[in-house]
Amino acid sequence: MKKVLLISANRMKKPYPVYPLGLDYVAGALKPRYQTKILDMNFCPSLDMLGVQVREYEPDYIGFSIRNIDNTDLMSPRGFLSDYQDMIGIIRMQSKAPLILGGSGYTVFPLEFFRALGADFGVAGEGERLSLLLDTLEQKGNAASIPGVITSETSSVRYLPWKGELHRVFDPDAEYTKFYISYGGMLNLQTKRGCPFRCSYCTYPHIEGGKMRLLDPREVAHQARRLQDAGAKYIFVTDSAFNASYEHSLQVARAFKDRGVTVPWGGFFAPTVPPEGYFQQLADAGLSHVEFGTESLCDTMLSNFRKPFAAADVFEAHRQAEKAGLHIAHYFLLGGPDENRETLRETLEGVDRLNRAVFFFFCGIRIYPHTALYETALREGQIQASQNLMDPIFYRSPFLSGPEIIRIVETHAAGRINWLIGAGEGKATRILPRLYERGHTGPLWEYLIA
């Protein structure tokens, strides 16, 4: 049987190390026809060890998973391309196996990564398609004809969401699984793929598809139970927006209860108005943390962002989540199209009215291809069509500069510990590693709530 080594290249440990869920699905699509092994660089101690593992496994194919492009932090930007180049340099010294790229970050810049890393193939979008690529290569077929597969001849990338089955292979005994359990205790799962909304700056519908594909709630609960039995102390639901289907998310919660899932869990939510009692029902099924993608509390900005809610909805969603006793975080994106002193003031004064929560402020919005913000930035001459956006470019409001926004938010925050400004090196990311090392579990941002 041919052997496939699947390497998770992510080594970012902030805000905490993230279990390489995507590779469980890729391995699930390859089994039983291919033998697979997952090598997680979060757990691999050095580049030398990477070389040793590649040499010893003697793979026929190597899959290289690219999750993060950069830390998406305007205040202290850090790109990961050179890290990946170093890893691939070592891999190439130890193996002649075809190297295939994939992953969510890869999907945003498939041609750029392909060229910069000198890969043999790439798979944009869902990695289940790797099975088609390998079968085609085995049969000496034409790989370039598979939608989403990138070869040296590809000049534009087109693909549709994967219509076949989804299988996750989870190994509770793998060393890397034990690493996540011992450090923060967080494992993750998915209940659906795709997001039906079209927020102007967001890549998720491009990465996962613009239609929801719902997984069977009983199967999701079965997975959650396996994570719990393996020792998970917290489960992160990685869906773009867990409540994008109220009905399905409630079915998942009920299935969790039926299956005896007792570990706390959380995920991303859109602050749309939920049916009465929604958050209480989720809380009864173990939901403990709600992360709202709020972005602004000014209706003009929310409509500029094409968000599926207005500021009043955010307050109502917050009220219900608070009533259910949940830990709440709101994420804000400042500096979008038409942001000015007035819109910013409205948002900050709105934040003052949200009780008992943590607020993450991202100042400056990363411009990604395949988004409406990209078109706006192009029209406004902030970027050129030929520009390589892998080197992060942040949208600039013509009315308010990035440093000005940061200054206004910092002044308004007046040192409040639950106001976190900037992504990468902020207060939380300095505090959290220490808490994990002392054995605390979960996302832990709730410790910042005053």
Name the residues that contact ligand SF4, by CB under 6 A: 195, 197-199, 202, 204-205, 240-241, 270, 293
C-beta of 120 vs 404, nearer to ligand B12:
120
Q: Closest distance between ligand B12 and the C-beta of residue 61, in Å? A: 9
Q: Closest distance between ligand B12 and the C-beta of residue 10, in Å? A: 5
C-beta of 68 vs 304, nearer to ligand B12:
68
Residues with Cβ within 8 Å of 438's Cβ and at least 6 positions away in sequence, in order, are none
49, 78, 153, 179, 216 from 4: Cα distances, Å = 18, 30, 24, 22, 28
Q: Which partner from the list ligand SF4, ligand B12, none does 376 bind, CB cut-off 5 to 8 Å by kind?
A: none
328, β-bridge pairs:
290
Q: Which partner from the list ligand SF4, ligand B12, none does 371 bind, CB cut-off 5 to 8 Å by kind?
A: none
Q: Which partner from the list ligand B12, ligand SF4, none does 290 bind, CB cut-off 5 to 8 Å by kind?
A: none
Q: Closest distance between ligand SF4 and the C-beta of residue 333, in Å? A: 9
DSSP string, 270-306: --PPPPTTHHHHHHHTTEEEEEEEEE-S-HHHHHHTT
Q: Which partner from the list ligand B12, ligand SF4, none does 69 bind, CB cut-off 5 to 8 Å by kind?
A: ligand B12
| In contact, 395 and 373? CB cutoff 8 Å | yes
Q: Closest distance between ligand B12 and the C-beta of residue 4, in Å? A: 9
C-beta of 23 vs 348, nearer to ligand B12:
23
Phi–psi pair at 147, nearest 5 degrees: -60, 135
Q: Which helix (H) or strand (E) element contains residue 110?
A: helix 110-117
C-beta of 236 vs 311, nearer to ligand B12:
236
CA atoms lying within 13 Å on the CB side of residue 1: 11
Q: Closest distance between ligand SF4 and the C-beta of residue 325, in Å? A: 24
Q: Which of 86, 89, 154, 165 is nearest to 122 (CA)?
A: 154
Q: Closest distance between ligand B12 and the C-beta of residue 260, in Å? A: 22
Q: Which partner from the list ligand SF4, ligand B12, none does 209 bind, CB cut-off 5 to 8 Å by kind?
A: none
Peptide bond into 172 cis (omega under 30): no
C-beta of 127 vs 364, nearer to ligand B12:
127
C-beta of 94 vs 238, nearer to ligand B12:
238
Q: Which partner from the list ligand SF4, ligand B12, none does 241 bind, CB cut-off 5 to 8 Å by kind?
A: ligand SF4
Rounded to whole angstroms, the Cα distance separating 232 from 225 reads 9
Q: Which partner from the list ligand SF4, ligand B12, none does 311 bind, CB cut-off 5 to 8 Å by kind?
A: none
C-beta of 170 vs 315, nearer to ligand B12:
170
Query: How many other C-beta atoms are found inside a 10 Å radius of the C-beta of residue 48?
Result: 10
Peptide bond into 15 cis (omega under 30): yes
What letter represents residue 429's amino acid? Answer: T
Rounded to whole angstroms, the Cα distance separating 35 from 79 reads 33
Query: How many other C-beta atoms are found inside a 10 Å radius of the C-beta of residue 170?
Result: 17
71, β-bridge pairs:
none
208 token code pair: 């996962």
What is the C-alpha end-to-end distance of the chain, expressed in Å? Answer: 57
Q: Which partner from the list ligand SF4, ligand B12, none does 199 bind, CB cut-off 5 to 8 Å by kind?
A: ligand SF4
Binding site for ligand B12 (CB under 6 A): 10, 12-15, 17-19, 21-23, 25-26, 63-65, 67-73, 100, 102-105, 107-108, 123, 126-128, 130, 186, 188, 190, 203-204, 207-208, 236, 238, 240, 423-424
C-beta of 104 vs 251, nearer to ligand SF4:
104
Q: Closest CB to ligand B12 belongs to which residue?
A: 102
